[in-house]
Chain A
Amino acid sequence: MIDLGCRIGGIESINPYWLASAPPTDKKYNVERAFRAGWGGAVWKTLGEDPPVVNVTSRYGVHKSAMGGIIGINNNELISDRPLEVNLKEIEAMRREWPDRVIIGSMMAPMDEQAWKDLAIRIANTGVQGLELNLGCPHGMCERGMGSAIGQVPEFVEKTTRWVREAVDLPVFTKLTPNITDIVEVAEAAKQGGATAVSLINTVNSIIGVDLDAMAPKPMIDGKGTHGGYCGEAVKPIALHMVAEIARAEATRGLEISAIGGITTWRDAAEFIALGASGVQVCTAAMLYGFRIVEDMIDGLVHYLASHGYRSLDALRGRALPNTVDWNQLNLNYDLKARIDEASCIECGRCHIACEDTSHQAIRIEAKAEGGRRFVVVDEDCVGCNLCMMICPVPDCITMEPVDNGLPAITWPEHPKNPARKAAAE
C-alpha cells in the first residue's frame, strides 16, 4: 500500500489534500467533519482584525454547462464573520484533538506592519503549523485595501510576507491572486519576502451571470449584484498554467507550491503534483459534493501511483515539468492525422461540420453503398488540430495518428521561415 504522506512547506501531512481557506473551513464543526472524512489538513477561513466583517445574503452564483452540470461557482463572501477569539479557541482545540492533521491559519490585514505582525502572532499562538497570507480575495475586501489590492502589487506581496516571517517562526504560505498579468512576478516577490510556499490560485474575478428579468448581476442582493471570485472546475486550466509557470521559472526556484483551482478528482490532484505542486487545496468540489469526495481522491491517487510504478508522491512531483516548454521549443515538423473508425462511427456528422465550418475542410461525407454515410479524412488538408476527435461523441472513434513525414525535428528558432533566424545568421 502506497503511503500518500508528504511534506508541504516543510509540514508533515498524511495526504496531499487540504481544504482551502473558504466557507467549508469556517468553524470547528465543519473542519472536524472534514478530518473525520479523511482530509489531511485545512486552511482555516481567513481571519482578520476585530470587529468581524458582515456578510450579505445571497452569496453564491453558479455557472452551468448546457448539459446542466456545474462548471464553476462564484461568491461574494468576505473573510470570517465570527469574532477572532472564537476562531482562535476553536483552532487551538482542533490542533489538540487532531494532532496528525494540519491546520494552517489564513490571515488578512490592511497594509500596516503592526497589524500583520500582531495578527500573525495571535494565530501562531494557537499551535497552527503554518500561516497563509490571503492576498487574493478579489471582492469586498479589496475595496478596503486588503486581499487582491495587496496581491496585485509585487512590492506589497513582498512586504507582507516579510512582516509575517519576521513575526513568527512558522512556514509562511503566500496566497496569490490570478487577477494579475504575470504570476511569476508576484511569486518572485513572495519568495523575496521569505515565503516558504505560494498557494495559488485564489478566485478569478467574475460576474457569474445576469438575471435577465431583474436586470442585475447574479447572485442578487436586494436587486443588485457585484463581482465575485470564480472557482471550480472551470478555473483548473488557469491554475495549472500558473502553477507550471512558477515551477519552471528560474526566479522562483525552490519555492514550494500549494496548488488550488478546481481540483475535483484524484486525477486533478495528480496533474498539479506532476507540474510541481507539493500538495493541493480543495474547496468547490467539497462544497458541491461534501467532504466524502476525499475518499476517492485518496484511493484513486493510490491506485494511480501503484499502477504507474510511483512509490510515493515525491516520485510523481514535477514529472511533467521537463515536457512543459515554451512554444518555441515545439517540433514544427511533427505531423498528426485524424483517423475515423468507420465501425464505431454512429454517423452523427459532428466531425464533418466542425471541420467544414471552422477548421480545414478535411472531413468529407461519402454515401455508403449499403445506405448511411461515411466520414473520410482528407490527409492533405488535415492539420491534426484534434477538433474532430474532441467533439466526437463516441470514445476512441476518432484518433490522432502520428505520420512519418520523413522530416527532422525543428523548432521555430531553427526554422528557415523565421525572419529572426535569418537576421541572426546575417
Chain B
Amino acid sequence: MSQLTNEQLERYSRHIILEQVGGKGQKKILSAKVLIIGTGGLGAPAAMYLAAAGVGHIGLVDFDTVDLSNLQRQIIHLTNDVGKAKTQSGRETINAMNPDVQVHAYDEQVTAANIRDIIGDLDYDFIIDGTDNFPAKFLINDACVLMRKPFSHAGIIRFQGQTMTYVPDKSPCYRCVFPKMPPKDAVPTCRQAGVLGVMGGVIGTIQATEALKFVLGIGELLTGYLLTYDALTMTFRKIKIPRNRRCNICGEQPTITELFDYEQPTCSFGR
C-alpha cells in the first residue's frame, strides 16, 4: 500500500503512536473492509468509530428510513435526516467525518437469498451484527459460519446488552449458545420494551473495538465468551462459553448446510 500522507500521519497520529498499531497497523485499518448490518442503535456508533479510525471500506446494510424515534440512540442520523434512507444518511455522516472511508450501501433487509452476495460483494473481512431481531441474528450467524467469516454479535434491550465474537474454528458460534429461535413474542424487541439510548453506544463501540483488533491482529478477541452489561447496576460479566460439539451448524455433524429464513415475528406495535 502507498505511503501515508502527511494529513493521514496527523489524523491517525494517536493510533500510530501506539506500539501495537504504528504506521503499518494504520495501513491495515485503511485497507480493511467491515460490513455493518443494521445502522441503528448498535450499527450507528460502530460505523462512526470505524469511520473515524479510517477503515477503508465500510458496508452499511439497512432497508429502513430514518424515523424521529430513532434519533435518541442512532447517532449517525441527524434531525434533518428523518425520512431519508438510513444507508444514505449514514453515508453522509461518514463522508463528512473522514474522506479516507468509502461507504458501500445495501438498501435491503438481509435474507437467505441475498446475504451471501452482500458479504461476498467486497469479500468483507469482518461483519458486525447490529440488527434488532432474532431471524436476522440467526441468519447472520449461519451465513458467517458457512462463509467462514468472523463477526461480532450483539443485542441490547432496556438497560442490558450482550456481545460475543465469532472466529471460524476458534470459537463457539451464536447457535452454540442459543441453538434455537426463542418462541414468538417470548422476547420483546426494543420497539416494545424500550432501550436506554447509550446502550448501543457502549455495546456497539465494543463491536467496533473487536473489528479493529481483528483487522490489526492484536490482543484477545471476545471469542469463547459472552460479555453481558447491566447499566442499572453497572455490571459487566464475561461468561465463558464452550463450543457445542452438537451445534447444528458448526458442530461435528451439522444439520444446517444451507441458509434459510426464520419467519419474521410480527410486532403488535407495528413498525
Chain B associates with chain A: no
Residue ranges of A at the interface with B (Cβ–Cβ < 8 Å):
none
